[in-house]
Structures are given as structure tokens and as C-alpha cells.
Amino acid sequence: MTASDKTIDPGISGRLLDWYDAHARVLPWRAPPGEPPPDPYRVWLSEVMLQQTTVSAVKPYFARFVEAWPDVDALAAADEAEVMSAWAGLGYYSRARNLVKCAAEVAARGGFPQSETELRKLPGLGAYTAAAVAAIAFGERAVVVDANVERVVARLFAIEEPLPIARKAIRERADAITPHKRAGDFAQAMMDLGATICTARDPKCLLCPLADQCEGKRSGDPALLPIKPAKKARPQRKGRAYWIERDGAVWLVQRPGKGMLGGMRALPDDGWTARTDGSGNPPLAGEWASLGVVQHVFTHAALTLEVMRYCGKDTPQGQGDWWPVDRIDEAGLPTLFAKAARLAQAQAG
């Protein structure tokens, strides 16, 4: 029997909403079940932050952002470098650049559009984010499918095609059970079910409000679904970062706007990318000493970065800034270069 052959129980959404009313997670960007929708700015900001990032990692960043920029107009007027600095450590930095672009466009419009179709036209809003904002902030019936929802639906209907082929059937089934009323609560209920009950490993079927309807549970091992393709080995890359210190300050540069860690403040490096090892010359001629290496894993590559300290007296040329070493944590370095800075400081100490 294929997923398309299965009968959809119209009571699924009602049972799930009843469960959500009793068990909804308390999150700073949410309104409690049954309450008026939250500010669309907070919904949009949280959904962008949550892409490929955990709730626990996002919470402190969300708090800092809404304190610094409490509404979309404030974020639209923000300096992009400050936004990038506040984002440092959260990863996937193109999201931060799109935040500023999107905020500017929303401010120019006079507010967020309320339909999924119009939301899709904003910078950085793909199908998932547009649907989530439409449903949660504006109550529009929209089919919201993130990784948690994908897992719940694949198990609920025993969709056995491997990903990504299965995504078409998963979306069809998610559409079939999405109600017209309380669409935002339903979307969040599906997310919560996947995050807390229908987890990737060891799903807690005894606690699931949909267990009696779950084809995956009946199969005997719901944890096998969804079927994922074998992971490809990440390429291993090598590069160098350069630590140039003067009178208690270190030389930092701003990376190009496009590419990995685009627009971020960083140590100078030898031009490594996810596709190539670094091959460029150091920023100054003279003697350099190796301080050791740091490891970092990106989506498309794993990097071994050797940290080199300059032993000469020359001054770097070109654009850059001297940043106090004792305030390096305030520089907004991305995680990779924060690791390199900690290594350099440890070696100096």
C-alpha cells in the first residue's frame, strides 16, 4: 500500500491540537495556544534563526536581537556590520545578510504582507519560512513542513520512498491533515510533536497522541522513517589564519561580502574555500611561527586551519582594524576564527 492509498482520518488535526493545548513548548517568539497571534516580526526572526539550528542555540540570539532591534523598522535601520557581529556563532551567515535586506523591504512596504504568496517575494523567505509566517503570524492556512514535520508525516503515513523523492508525498499528506482553523497552532503542534515525541531516535510512541493512527508504528520500527540517502563524505580542506599582534591589539579584516563567512570580521587567511585548500601568501613578509591547528566542520567541507603568528615588526597594508586582544570576544568573530583566537591567546599565555 502506498501513501496515496491511505485514508486520511479527519480527526488527526483535532487530536493533535488538543495535545498541543496541553503540552505546547513555551518559547519567547510564540503566543500560547488559542491566544492572538504573535508579532510577525518575532515569528519571522525566529524562523530564520531556527533554520538548521536548534531551539536551545537560538534562544539567546533571539533575546539579544529583539533587545537591540525590537521591531522590523529598527532592524531595517541597523548597520549590517552590527547585525553580522550579533549573529556571529549562529552559522549560515547568508541568513543574517538577508535579514537586513528583508527588514528594509518590509519597512518600505509598511509591514509584512499577510499571504504566503506575497511573503515568498521577500528576500530570504523560501517556501517553509513563508508558510510558517503566514500560518503562525496571520492564521492563513498554509502547509508548513520543516524537518520535524517531515519526520512526523513520513511515519504517520509510512511513506517509504527515500528522501528527497519522498518530499512530494510528505507535502501532500501534510496538506491533507492541515486544518483551516488554527493553522498556526497546528503547524507549531506538528513541530513540537517532532521535537519532543516523534524524535529522530527512540520515538516515544506511548506518549504520542497520534499513535493509534500511525502506520509507521504499526510497521514495528517507526525510527526507520523517513528513509534518508547515504551521506557523502565531506571534503577535507586545509588553510591558514594569520595572527598579527601589536601593543595588545590584533589585526582583523572584513571578509568579502560573498562566499563563506561573507561580510564577517575575521583574521586574515590564505584564501581557503569549501572547494580548495588555501594557497595565498601571508599578509606580511618575514618570519611566522605556527601556534597549532583548529578544526571546524562546515556544511560542505571540513577544515583544518593552522594558526600562524607574525614574528616581525612590519605593519599590514590595506583595509583592516586593530582590535584589543582582551576584548576579542566582542569582535563578533565567526566560530572558526573565535577558535583560532582562543588558540593564539592560549599560546601567548
The pLDDT confidence band at residue 10, using thresholds 50, 70 and 90, is low
Nearest residue to 42 via CA among 62, 64, 68: 62
- Strand, coil or helix: what is 293? strand
- Strand, coil or helix: what is 245? strand
Task: Provide the terminal-to-terminal Cα distance of the chain, rounded to the nearest Å.
Answer: 66
What are the strands, taking DSSP E only, across 105-235?
A: none
Whether the CA torsion 58, 115, 165, 151 is positive or negative: it is positive
The pLDDT confidence band at residue 86, using thresholds 50, 70 and 90, is very high
Which pLDDT score is estimated for 93? 84
**DSSP 8-state symbol, 250:** E
Q: What average pLDDT is seen over the chain?
A: 92
> How far is the C-alpha of 172 from the C-alpha of 181, rounded, in Å?
18
Q: What is the residue type of 308? A: M
> How far is the C-alpha of 96 from the C-alpha of 217, rounded, in Å?
40
Residues 318-322 have a mean pLDDT of: 92
Which pLDDT score is estimated for 52? 85
Query: Is 309 in contact with 286 (CB distance < 8 Å)?
Result: no
Query: Cα torsion for 109, 51, 216, 156, to the nearest 10°?
Result: -10
Q: What is the residue type of 243? A: W
The pLDDT confidence band at residue 257, using thresholds 50, 70 and 90, is confident
Nearest residue to 13 via CA among 131, 156, 117: 156
Query: Is 286 in contact with 314 (CB distance < 8 Å)?
Result: yes
286-316: pLDDT as tens digits: 999 999 999 999 988 999 999 999 998 899 9
21-70: pLDDT as tens digits: 999 999 999 999 989 999 999 999 999 999 988 999 999 999 999 999 99
Can you name the residues that pair with 309 across neighbouring β-strands?
Answer: 243, 289
Of the listed ranges 1-5, 61-65, 83-87, 254-258, the least confidently predicted one is 1-5
Task: Take residue 12 and report the three cell numbers written for it.
Answer: 488527526
Residues 249-275 have a mean pLDDT of: 91
Residues 65-94 have a mean pLDDT of: 92
Which pLDDT score is estimated for 50? 94
Residue numbers annotated as active site: 47
164-195: pLDDT as tens digits: 999 999 999 999 999 999 999 999 999 999 99
Task: Enumerate domains of the chain plus CATH numbers.
Answer: 3-224 (1.10.340.30), 236-348 (3.90.79.10)
Global pTM? 0.83
265-266 and 288-297: which strand pairing? unpaired
Which pLDDT score is estimated for 263? 84
Q: Which range is most confident: 2-16, 193-207, 247-261?
A: 193-207
209 cis-preceded (ω within 30 degrees of 0): no
Top pLDDT among 193 and 95 is at 193
> How far is the C-alpha of 96 from the C-alpha of 78, rounded, in Å?
12
